[in-house]
Structure formats: structure tokens, C-alpha cells
Amino acid sequence: MTYDKKTATNTFTVTDNSTGKSYDLPVIEGTVGPRVVDIRKFYADTGCFTYDPGFTSTGSCSSKITFIDGDEGILLHRGYPIDQLAENCDFLEVAYLLLFGDLPNKEQFAQFEHDITYHSMLHEQIQRFYSGFRRDAHPMAVSCGVVGALSAFYHDSLDFTDPYQRVVAETRLIAKMPTIVSWAYKYSIGQPFQYPRNNLTYAENFLHMMFAVPCEPYEVNPVLARAMNRILILHADHEQNASTSTVRLSGSSGANPFACLAAGIASLWGPSHGGANEAVLNMLMQIGSKDRVGEYVKRAKDKDDPFRLMGFGHRVYKNYDPRAKIMQQTCHEVFDELGIHDEPLLQIAMELEKIALEDDYFIEKKLYPNVDFYSGIIFRAMGIPTSMFTALFALARTTGWVAQWLEMIDDPELKIGRPRQLYIGQTQRDFIPMDKR
Ligand code: ACO
């Protein structure tokens, strides 16, 4: 079931005990999920702001793209469960679904795939932009810089008010991200950039640009391409998380789409968000062997120790992250294909998961493995270096960011995002000249 515009169906009464006044706030119901209390007129009516650091109880927009039930461990894109999409779809089918609302038929898919494929080359001058970076620059720094710089190269798709320019920007961003990210890797290892190949799928093309060299033919391993396709789908969108909210907030001012996406990449980089996949692998290497897992679980539970189990816990999921389950299965498929049977990091990860899932601390706090827990181990097995993990996440999430940005632009309720605050600083005071301070 979907419906077009939100309607208040009920009210929620709050009473200000200092004045005894009561206020009826409209309650709006979505198609599924918690009801929301509409507080848009709250300040005008009551003179109070609401206070919600970290936005744990705040809906920032209405959306038809992704639904998460964190208690049940459910993730739906446009109504379709993530496991069905990951099992059956090409990544570009999911991209189409996120962008346009329905899965494409054969003709729609062929057209969309063609449009994406034929926009995957970068303006040749962007190569020179890469050479301005140090070779040891983090691929997220490079990706963030290059995506932001697209606004300096593609002037004909910056006007967000023009629907045609929006389509061009959307196509360019999704099409060029694999090229941008793989070139960040090639630059870091000093190999020549590989141009995209139009006969390959989105996932195959990315692997090709990462691992091919001009001196010999490169055959994409179909099992690895399937795994990459699935990983891209699992990371494609996740509702109003930090980076998506950053894209929306940046876009709410009318900033161009390339600048908004660069802001999203910057937000994703943090270790509490997309940077966690890199942090997981570093943590597994730090643990070093299966018999030290208990020691690290103990540290994670110690209030005086800042150590946390990376890849565990989630703001929304208070159950097993449905993406983590598929990731675990993909991990075993990749390892079987590559004939890796005793990878120590996988053994450590499985032991860690087992111990943590049985531990009262993790059970009580509802801390389960999240999507990042297994992705790093798979990437490593594929030959992708740790520093590239979050950039790969950014590549996959670009579709979600673009879909959310487009939805926001079309929303008649769009306003520039402008949160308020609880001010706890000095009240007004008079200036004191320096010699009297
Ligand atoms: N290890 C140990 N303890 C943890 C962990 C963890 N990974 N995660 C949360 N906790 C504890 C906290 O110490 C806190 O305990 P307290 O109530 O006694 O103070 C409680 O569980 C709740 O944690 P919060 O940090 O308040 O929960 P929040 O929703 O703000 O944070 C987050 C969620 C950031 C994901 C957190 O679980 C974490 O840091 N996890 C590790 C990093 C990670 O894997 N991030 C990836 C998230 S998925 C993604 O972005 C794609």
C-alpha cells in the first residue's frame, strides 16, 4: 500500500506543566512503521524547541524509498525485501528501483543500462586532477575531491531546478563512480588508469577497472562479479542515515548535486558510519588469533576502555542486520571460489560473532553484527586493499544518495534544513578591552 500525501489522522496532546496549557499535535501515519507527531508548528504555538541530539526520535522527511524495521531486522527498498533483491537482481535493476519506484521491465532496463554504461568515462582532464593528490592520499579523500570537482567539469547539469539537468547529473554520478573510485586505487599503486568497458556489467566493469592492466587480458571471475554485484546492492540505500541526511541537508540549500554527493562521501568516511568496514579489518588484525577474542570482548564491555567491537551495533537495528546475513553467505561463496579454507581473519570473525552473540552484555544492549562486519573480509579476499573499503561503500551508496536527493527536490514540502539548538553559552555581556581582560 502507498499513498501520496500525509494526512493527520489523530492528535497527540502535550501539556506544559509550567503554564498548564495543552497543545494538540497532529499525528501522521505512514504506510508501515511508527506514527510520527507533527511538530512543525510546535515552536510557533508553544515558544519551545524540541531537543533531540543525534535525531534518535526525529523524522526529517517523508520518503517512499526505503523502510527499515530495526527490531525485526527488516529492510525493504520500495517494498521489496533486501534478500530477494540481493539474490535476484543486477545492481542497476536495484538502482532503477530506488530512483524510479518500480523494478524495470526488459526495455526499461536495457535503456537505463545503456545510459549508465555510456556515461562511465570521465572528462579526460580529470586525470590531471588526480595527479594533484599525493600517491598515499586516502581513496576517500580522492573520491570526495573528485566528485566535488565534477561540478567544475559538467556545468550543464548543475541546475537542480531543471528536471533534464537532474537526470543528466543522476546518470553521470551513478555511471562515473566506479571509474572515480577504481582510479583512486590505480593512482595509489602507480598503475595506469583503466577505461571502462561497455560490454561489461556495472559490477564487472568496476572489477575490470580495479584489476586490469594494459599488458595482458583480464577476465572477470564470475563468482567475484556476482559477489561484488550483491555487495553493491546491500549498500545501495539505507534510509536517513548520517551521509544520506548530509546529502539531503546540503541539497536543501539548492547546492548542486555533485557538491551534495561530495558532502555525503565526507560523512560516510567516519568510523561510526561507512568507515567501520575498514575499522573491522584493522580490529581483526589487531586481535590476531582466535584465542584472543575473549580478551577483546572483555575490553569492549569495559566502560573505562574506549574500545568497541567494530561491525557490531547499529542505531536502528536492534536485531541481526539483514544485510550482514547475506554478507556472511557471500563471504563463504567467495572463499570457496578462491579456495581459501583457513583464512585466520575469517576464523577470528566467526569466533567473535559466536562469543558476542552469546554474551549478556551484547544480548541486553541488542548489539548484533552489522553490514560492515563481513564486508571487509570479502574485500580483502578479492584483493581489495583496506583503504578502499569505504570508497567501495560510497560507490554503492551513490545510487541511494541520488535517489534521496531527487525525492527531496520533488517534495513540495522542501525547505532549507535549519535545525535549532538549546543554547547553554554565556548570556549577553559587554565587551572588555584587551588590556582590562
Ligand atoms: N561494542 C561495544 N559496546 C557497544 C558497541 C560496540 N560495537 N556499540 C554500542 N555499544 C554500547 C555503548 O557503549 C552503549 O552502552 P551504554 O548504554 O552502557 O552507554 C550502548 O551499547 C548503546 O550504544 P550507542 O553508542 O549509544 O548507540 P548508537 O545508536 O549511538 O551507536 C553505533 C550506534 C555508532 C553503530 C555503535 O553501535 C558503534 O559504535 N558500533 C561500532 C561501529 C560500527 O560498526 N559502525 C557501523 C554502523 S553500520 C553503518 O554505518 C553502515
What is the Cα–Cα distance from 27 to 413, expressed in whole angstroms? Answer: 17
Could you give the CA distance from residue 223 to residue 406 in angstroms, rounded to a whole number? 33
pLDDT in tens, 68-95: 999 999 999 999 999 999 999 999 999 9
Residue 272 is predicted with a pLDDT of 85
Q: Is the pLDDT of residue 204 over 50?
A: yes
Does residue 230 have its Cβ closer than 6 Å to ligand 1?
Answer: no
E strand or H helix at 224? helix 222-234
**Ligand 1 binding pocket includes 299 (Cβ within 6 Å):** no
Ligand 1 site, residue 378, Cβ cutoff 6 A: no
C-beta 381 within 6 A of ligand 1: no
**Mutate which of 52, 365, 390, 392 for ligand 1 pocket (most atoms within 8 A of beta carbon):** 365
Using 50, 70 and 90 to split pLDDT, how confident is the model at 315? confident
pLDDT score at 111: 98
Q: Would the CB of 311 count as within 6 Å of ligand 1?
A: yes
Alpha carbon of 241 to ligand 1 centroid (Å): 14
Q: Which residue has its alpha carbon closest to ligand 1 atom 9?
A: 313
Task: Pinpoint the alpha helices (H) of 49-105.
Answer: 82-88, 91-100
d(CA 392, CA 140): 9
Q: Which amino acid is at 231?
A: I
In this prediction, residue 1 carries a pLDDT of 47
Ligand 1, atom nearest to 316 Cα: 29
Ligand 1 pocket test target in 312, 368, 374, 392 with most atoms within 8 Å of CB: 312
Q: Average pLDDT in the 407-423 region?
A: 95
CA of 277 to the centre of ligand 1 (A): 14
Q: Ligand 1 in contact with 324 (CB < 6 A)?
A: no
Q: Mark out the alpha helices in 288-388 (DSSP H runs).
A: 293-301, 322-338, 344-358, 360-364, 372-382
pTM recorded for the entire structure: 0.91
* Residue 221: half-sphere exposure toward Cβ, Cα within 13 Å: 14
- Is the pLDDT assigned to residue 352 strictly greater than 80? yes
Q: Is 411 a catalytic residue?
A: no
pLDDT at residue 6, rounded to an integer? 60
Q: Could you report the per-residue pLDDT of 34-65, keeping only the tens digit for each? A: 999 999 999 999 999 999 999 999 999 999 99
Nearest to 114 by CA among 123, 102, 122, 106: 106
Query: Looking at the predicted structure, is the pLDDT value of residue 4 above 80?
Result: no
Mean pLDDT of the chain: 93
Active-site option among 77, 208, 235, 314? 314
Question: Could you confirm whether 314 is annotated as catalytic?
Answer: yes
Phi/psi of residue 9, nearest 5 degrees: -115, -10
Cβ neighbors of 103 (< 8 A, separation 6 or more) are: 80, 89, 93, 96, 97
Out of 69, 372, 430, 435, the active site residue is 372
Using a 6 Å cutoff on CB, does residue 367 contact ligand 1? yes
- Alpha-carbon gap, residue 325 to 180, rounded angstroms: 29
Do the Cβ atoms of 330 and 346 come closer than 8 Å? no
Q: What is the pLDDT of residue 5?
A: 53
**Ligand 1 mean position, distance from CA 204 (Å):** 34
257 C-beta closer than 6 A to ligand 1: no
Pocket of ligand 1 contains residue 370 by CB under 6 Å: yes
33: left (phi > 0), else alpha (psi -120 to 50), else beta?
left
**CA 321 to ligand 1: nearest atom:** 48
- At 227-249, the pLDDT tens digits run 999 999 999 999 999 999 999 99
User: Which cell is 51 given?
Assistant: 531537543
Residue with the three cell numbers 568496514? 277
What confidence score (pLDDT) does residue 325 get? Answer: 87
- What pLDDT digit, counting tens, does each position of 95-153 carry? 999 999 999 999 999 999 999 999 999 999 999 999 999 999 999 999 999 999 999 99
pLDDT range class, residue 9, cuts 50, 70, 90: confident
Alpha carbon of 358 to ligand 1 centroid (Å)? 17
Specify the DSSP element, H or E, that contains 77.
strand 74-77
Distance 279 CA to ligand 1 centre (A): 13
Alpha-carbon gap, residue 150 to 169, rounded angstroms: 10
**Confidence check: pLDDT of 27 > 90:** yes
- Mean pLDDT (whole number) for 154-182: 95
Can you say how many angstroms the Cα of residue 208 is from the centroid of all Cα atoms in its chain? Answer: 23
State the Cα–Cα distance between residues 335 and 348, nearest whole angstrom: 15
Residue having the nearest C-alpha atom to atom 10 of ligand 1: 313
Share of the chain above pLDDT 90, in %: 83
Taking CA atoms, 271 is separated from 126, 309, 386, in Å, by 29, 12, 13
Number of Cβ atoms within 10 Å of the Cβ of 70:
16
Nearest to 148 by CA among 2, 259, 15: 259
- Is the per-residue pLDDT at 288 higher than 90? yes
- Distance between first and last Cα of the chain: 66
Per-residue pLDDT for 357 more than 90? Answer: no
CA distances from 350 to 293, 328, 342, 354, 380 (A): 10, 9, 12, 6, 16
52 C-alpha vs ligand 1 centroid, how far in Å?
18
The alpha-helical segments, DSSP class H, found in 69-162 are 82-88, 91-100, 106-117, 126-130, 139-153
For residues 324 and 373, the answer to whether their CB atoms sit within 8 Å is yes
